[in-house]
Structure 1
Amino acid sequence: MVPSTNFLLFLFFFSVFFLSGTSRRTKVGAAGVRLNLDGGITLDGASRGKLTSPSQATQRLSLISRHLDQRLPLPELNTPFSTERNSLPSDDLEYNPLHRSTTITTPLPPPFSSSPNTSTSTIMSTQAPHSTLLIPGPIEFDDAVLQSMAHYAESHVGPGFVKTFGETLSMVRKLFQSTDPAAQPIVVSGSGTLGWDIVASNLVEKGENALVLHTGYFADSFATCLETYGANATQIKAPIGDRPSFEQIEQALKEKPYKVVTITHVDTSTGVLSDIKRVAEIVRRVSPETLVVVDGVCSVGCEEIAFDAWDIDVVLTASQKAIGCPPGLSILMLSGRAVNVFQNRKTPPAAYYASLANWLPIMKNYESFKPSYFATPATQLVHALHTTLSQITARPMPERFAAHAQASARVKAAIEGLGLQQLAAKPENQAHAMTAIWLPEGLAAPDVLPGLLKRGVIFAAGLHKECPTKYIRFGHMGVSVTDPARKDIDNALAALKDALADAKQAKGL
C-alpha cells in the first residue's frame, strides 16, 4: 500500500521536530524557515522575525487549512502541526478554499440509466454522482458553495466569522438592489417560512387587517400564519394559474385600512409570477401607509426586484432556491418604513426567536463588523451564503435576471413544442425560475416522474390542493442556468420528451 501524502508529511515533520534534541531552533527545508519549540516561526535573512502580523498569520493558516482539505494540488507546508497549538486571536481569519471544481459529463450509472443511449448528466468533480435536482427548490449547488461549508470550526463572535457575516449582509443589500441606509438586511437560521412569522409577529398587531393576494398554495399558508398571530387576513383569490387583477386590489384597499399587503412573487405551486412593482405603485397611491410585503422565496436571485426603486417594505426569502445555498437560512430585507412600524408597536412582539427586538441590533452590529450575540448563527451556512452571494454580485444583477428569462423562454418553447400547456397560461403570469406543466389527459404525476428519474432528472409533483396529480413542476434556476458548462436544462427537456412517450405507451394513449 502506498502511504498517503498526509501520512508522509506527518512522518517527515515528526522526525524533524522531535529528533532535534533540545535545540531552541530546528531548520526546516531550504526556504530559510526555522521553527521554535515554543511554537514561534523565525525566518532567515530579509524575512527574519516571527509571523505575527495579520497578513502572515493569514498565509500560515491558509496553508494549514488547505492541507486539511486533503485534496490535490497541495501548496508547500511550513509548519509541523496540522493545527496551531498556541493560536493567537488574529489567527481566527477567514479561509477561502481553493476552487478545484471541474465539470465532467458522464453517463449516469444504474439505476439512473437503463441503456447506453440514455442522456448524460453533468456531475461536478467533488459531488457524488446523482440525478439532477430540477424542482422549484432546493436546487443544484455549485462546488465552491458546498466546499465553503467545510470551513473549520470557529467562534461565531470571532473576528473571522464577524467579517464574513458582515460582508454577507452587505451583499444581501446588493442582491435586493438597495442602497438605503435605513433599510436592514436580516439573515437568521431557519426556513423561508420563518420569514412569515417575522412579518406576522412584528409588523402586524392583533386585530389589524392584512390583505393577502392569492396565486396558489403559499398565499393560503401565509394567511394562516398571519391569523395565528391575531391578524384579520382577507384573501383576494384568483383562478388556478392566474393572479388578482389590479382593479380588485385597488378596490379592496379603498374598502378598509390594511396594515400589510402580502404578495407571493412566484408561487411555486402554480408557477405564477406577480407584478410586485405595479402592486406597490397601487398601494402607495391608494393606501400609502400600508406595508408592501413580498414573499420572494422562489424569486429572489432570478426575478427582478428593485427594493428601493419600487418602494417595497419587506422581501422575505430562503437560501436554497435561486440564491443557490443549501437550506437553513431565512433572509429578509426590511425598509426604513417597516422598521419604524415595528419600533412604534403598541404591544410587544408576539414571538421571541422571531422578534425583531432581538435581531435588529444583532444584524446592525454584524454589518458594522462588531461581534454580537442573541442566538448562535449557522456559521457553515453563512460561509456558503457568502460564497454564492460573492458569485451572484460579481456581475450586474440585470445580467442574472436576463439569463433566467432566456432559459425560461427556451423551456416554455420546448413545453409548447411537446403539445403541453402551463398552469400559468398568460405569458405575463409566467415565472422565469420554474414552469408548472399540465400533463396530457390520462396521465398523472406518478406515471411520468419515475421515467424522469430513470433518466437522471428529478422534477416535482403538483402542489396545489385542487389538482396535485394533474401536473408536474420543473425548476430552472441558479447554477443550472448560470453555469454555461452545465447541460441540466437540455438534458431535462430531452428526458421529459422520452418519459412522456414511455408513459403514454404504457397507458396505451
Structure 2
Amino acid sequence: MTEDILLIPGPVTISNKVQRALGTASISHTSPEFAAIFARVLKNTRLVFKGGETSQPLILAGSGTLGWDVAASNLVEAGEKVLVLSTGYFSDSFAECLQAYGAHVDKVRASLGDVVPLSEVCEALQGTKYKMVTITHVDTSTGVLSDVKSICEVVKKVSPETLIVVDGVCSVGCEKLEFEAWGIDYALSASQKALGAPPGLSVSLLSERAVKEALTRKAPSCFFASLKKWIPVMRNYDNGKACYFATPPVQLVNALDASLTEILDYGLDARVAKHWTTSDWFKNRITEDLGLELVTNSAEDSAHGLTAIYVNNPAEIIAALKKSGIVIAGGLHADIKNQYIRVGHMGAVACEPSLQHLQSCFEALKAFAGGMQA
C-alpha cells in the first residue's frame, strides 16, 4: 500500500530524520538527557523566531489554538480592549477565543482576499486605547499574508503601549519573521506546519514586556495555560534543569528538536527563500498554465506555504485527487466555502529539489483544467 501525497496546509509530511526522532524510546521528562534536549529546543526556537536573548520560548503540549488561550488568559484582563485585524476564518476564531475570556474585541476587517489597509489600522489605534492588537500573519483559510513588519511600525508609532500578538501558525518557518527587530510581544505557532514536525505542540515566544505583563497581572483565568505556572518551568529547562508542572510529550519534543535542527542546518533565511521560490513556481503554473484565479488578490499578499484556488467543483476535484493518492484541502471561509480548494506546500515537500509531489498535484489538477474555472 503506497502512502498518499499529503498536500494540505498542515499537518505536513515530515522528513525521515524527524520521523526517526518521533519513534525514539521514552525517557524520563525529568532526566538530564531530556533536560538537555529541551534546552536545545528552547534555544533553537529563539533562533527560528529571530528572538533576542531576553525573549522567552514556550513549548506546550497542544495545538496552535492553545497559543490563543495563552494570550487571552495571560495578557489581557476581562473587559480590556483588543483590536483584531481580520483576514479570514482563523483571525475571527482568535477573536472568539479572546471574547471567551472576557476581552472587549473590535475588528478591522479586510476585504476577501486582501490585507487590512495600514490606514485603517492607524485610524483604529488613534481612536481607541487597546491593550493588544492581534495579527494573523497567514490566515490559512484564505492564504492572505499580512505585512507584520509594517503593522508593527504603525503600532509602535501610534500606540506603543499596545501589546503586539502575531498568530504565526502557518508562517513561522516559511515566511519572514523578525520577532525582536519588529518589536513583537507574543508570537504563537504550532509544530505541524512549516516547522516540519508532527502535530501536538504549541510553540511560542514572548517578549520581556509580555512576560512581565503575565507575571504581574491578577490571577490568570486558566490553569494549564497559566504563564505563572509555565515560565518558571521554561526558565529551568532553559538552563538545562528539569522542572515539573505537567508532563511534556517527550517524543514530540524529540521530533521538534530534529525539525528545528534541520531548519537551522539548511539555513533559516535560505529555507524561507526556498518556500517562496516553490510557492511562486506553483502559483504561476496554476494561474498561467491552467488559467485559474487565486483567492488572494495580489502576489505580495499571498502566503508562501499554501495556495488557495477558486474552482467550480471543489468536492469533485478533492475526491478525484484522493483516488490518485493526492490529498488536498477544501475551503474554510464562510463566504466562499464551496468555491475553492487549498493546496499546502510547507516543510519537506516545499524543499524537495525536484518538487515531485507538487508536480504530481499540478498534473492531476491539469486533468480537470477544462471544467475547473469558477
TM-score by length of 1: 0.72
Aligned to 1:460: 329
1:353 alignment partner, SS class: coil
- Report if aligned partners of 2:314, 2:330 keep a CA contact under 8 Å in 1: yes
**How far did 1:455 drift?**
2.2
Is 1:298 equivalent to 2:170 in the alignment? yes
Instruction: Give the partner amino acid of 2:8.
Output: I
**How far did 1:395 drift?**
3.1
RMSD of aligned Cα (Å): 1.4
Is 1:451 equivalent to 2:320 in the alignment? yes
Distance in structure 1 (CA, Å) of the matches to 2:341 and 2:27: 42
Aligned to 1:21: none
1:355-409 per-position Cα deviation (integer Å, ceiling 9, x unaligned)? 0000000001111100100000000000000001110011331101110110011
Aligned to 1:156: 29
1:185-231 per-position Cα deviation (integer Å, ceiling 9, x unaligned)? 00000000000000000000011000000000011111110011110
**How far did 1:176 drift?**
0.7
Match for 1:395 among 251, 266, 270?
A: 266
Matches within 5 A, 1:278-293: 278-293=150-165
- Report if aligned partners of 2:307, 2:342 keep a CA contact under 8 Å in 1: yes
Match for 2:229 among 346, 350, 358?
A: 358
Aligned to 1:140: 13
Unmatched 5+ residue regions in structure 1? 1-127
1:246-296 per-position Cα deviation (integer Å, ceiling 9, x unaligned)? 000000001111011001000010000000000000000000010110000
- Report if aligned partners of 1:168, 1:382 keep a CA contact under 8 Å in 2: yes
Distance in structure 2 (CA, Å) of the matches to 1:388 and 1:496: 30
Match for 1:276 among 126, 145, 148?
A: 148
Aligned to 1:332: 204
Q: Structure 1 485/423 Cα, relative in aligned 2: closer, same or farther at 3 Å? A: closer
Aligned to 1:25: none
Instruction: Give the partner amino acid of 2:308.
Output: A
Match for 1:426 among 298, 315, 330?
A: 298
Distance in structure 1 (CA, Å) of the matches to 2:277 and 2:172: 17
Is 1:167 equivalent to 2:52 in the alignment? no
- Report if aligned partners of 1:320, 1:326 keep a CA contact under 8 Å in 2: yes
**How far did 1:485 drift?**
5.6
Unmatched 5+ residue regions in structure 2? none
- Report if aligned partners of 1:185, 1:331 keep a CA contact under 8 Å in 2: yes
Higher helix share: 2
**How far did 1:152 drift?**
1.2
Is 1:497 equivalent to 2:370 in the alignment? no
Aligned to 1:307: 179
Distance in structure 1 (CA, Å) of the matches to 2:56 and 2:133: 20
- Report if aligned partners of 2:186, 2:207 keep a CA contact under 8 Å in 1: yes
Is 1:259 equivalent to 2:120 in the alignment? no
- Of residues 326-335 and 394-403 in structure 1, the stretch that sits farther from structure 2 once superposed is 394-403
- Report if aligned partners of 1:448, 1:500 keep a CA contact under 8 Å in 2: no
Distance in structure 1 (CA, Å) of the matches to 2:283 and 2:352: 20
Aligned to 1:477: 346
Matches within 5 A, 1:29-68: none
1:394 alignment partner, SS class: helix
Is 1:217 equivalent to 2:89 in the alignment? yes
1:422 alignment partner, SS class: coil
Distance in structure 2 (CA, Å) of the matches to 1:317 and 1:435: 19
**How far did 1:332 drift?**
0.5
Instruction: Give the partner amino acid of 2:358.
Output: I
Instruction: Give the partner amino acid of 1:381.
Output: L
Match for 1:368 among 234, 239, 249?
A: 239
1:333 alignment partner, SS class: strand
Distance in structure 1 (CA, Å) of the matches to 2:207 and 2:182: 11
- Report if aligned partners of 2:309, 2:342 keep a CA contact under 8 Å in 1: yes
Is 1:186 equivalent to 2:58 in the alignment? yes
Distance in structure 2 (CA, Å) of the matches to 1:171 and 1:136: 23
Aligned to 1:319: 191
Aligned to 1:377: 248
Is 1:129 equivalent to 2:2 in the alignment? yes
Distance in structure 1 (CA, Å) of the matches to 2:169 and 2:246: 23
2:193 alignment partner, SS class: coil
**How far did 1:237 drift?**
0.8
Distance in structure 1 (CA, Å) of the matches to 2:215 and 2:37: 28
2:303 alignment partner, SS class: coil
1:269 alignment partner, SS class: coil
Match for 2:121 among 246, 249, 253?
A: 249
**How far did 1:342 drift?**
1.5
Distance in structure 2 (CA, Å) of the matches to 1:425 and 1:254: 28
Instruction: Give the partner amino acid of 1:467.
Output: I
Query: Sequence identity of aligned pairs in percent?
Result: 45
**How far did 1:169 drift?**
0.6
Q: 1 or 2 for the larger relative contact order (CA 8 Å, sep ≥6)?
A: 2
**How far did 1:481 drift?**
1.2
**How far did 1:348 drift?**
0.8
Distance in structure 2 (CA, Å) of the matches to 1:158 and 1:464: 45
Distance in structure 1 (CA, Å) of the matches to 2:191 and 2:325: 24
